[in-house]
Chains A and B, each alone.
Chain A
């Protein structure tokens, strides 16, 4: 009986682990990706957040976004890691940790990071976190950690 329970627990854990990972589809961000995102969003409001594994303030921001994503599950957030595909496992761990699974996830591909940054914004110098608030007509760039109150206001407005 005890063995059975442990076995059940094992399968439940396995399922949770698998299902958590299964939700994450880490796509490769290439030169055309940003334009594709704009086309796909079709003038809807969304928040694009760029982050990396070697950016301590990014972790604070992702933690906050995880909480807000639970609170505003319908609001569109797109996450882009500027790390490499070789770091996909670490990226997925972070997404799981901050409950950001289920959001569109991208990681910089093999092209020069400079090209990829430029494809989003020629005037972005690589500082992280970097966020873009998109509406049908506007795009606002923000460098540095976002403020929770600003995000809530944005989500409520959109």
Chain B
């Protein structure tokens, strides 16, 4: 059914269609509307046989999810930003225990300075936690990925983070196709856990493992991610057959065939990028776009194959690893070893800064001329940075940086 609907609510509807048995909720912007809607569905009876637990922290949210999943219940929660960091210990625990929890991450920056707007810093902080990490490009894909996620998680017994850009997707209203219950039921079989806490068949779950087997446990976690590289395209295909839509898979390509320059990105930025390269194509060569829908596991071989004819790869990413550069770029450089191309990193959209088509086009023009630095910060206010650096050179006790910059911005405007 077509509906004009907010991204968050659409995700909540998708989750409800998956018949979760336990949902844990803790509010954090910008995922809050998702769990609010889930709570409403449980209260009104739209979602039945589901326990909705309002918890006291994100750490508890995922911990309740861990207990519920270990007891054999299909379990869902959502978080963002600081919330993800607050539950970090449980994030690793859920994957270590192989519990197929599905969690939405409404991507948002991490403080300090406190900032509630979108970037991918939160997701990047947990990239090695053993979760499968899917990124939605659109709200339709966010909705669809949740339905796929439960099937994938339960098939592999692995938790999944479905990442969607905070505000840009979570708060955007669009016309979306909401599947009907029968179609979702046909696509998503009932949850049969690999292990469950059951008095009739008692297991001990979460035993201490020493050096004699820890490497093997971790290897198997890696192997599970490699299995996901095969299962995700299968589920993508099966979803297409069931629902008649392209959603998910490992990554999406746009005009990549024959393109010497390809931009790689994740999330909603892909839409703006596609517009930017199309406009740019009127004056120069066609630039391709790849948007990753699966970030963990990192589809190394598949990306290498897709990019084997590219000579310039530009990764536009919404997180920075201070002192190192771009995280996705590092992964991609590993994937492209031996391919005759260079990989440039563009950091964009931090803390909700709009990433505009003109900015992207101007960056791409420089890239095509070979003028782009290895690590480029899109729309960086150089004057503001230089003035603060100058203040710091003058003395040590120069005060809090964030406040200095805000004062600077008030004084100098947006020059």
Partners in one complex: no
Name A residues whose Cβ lies closer than 8 Å to a Cβ of B: none
Name B residues whose Cβ lies closer than 8 Å to a Cβ of A: none
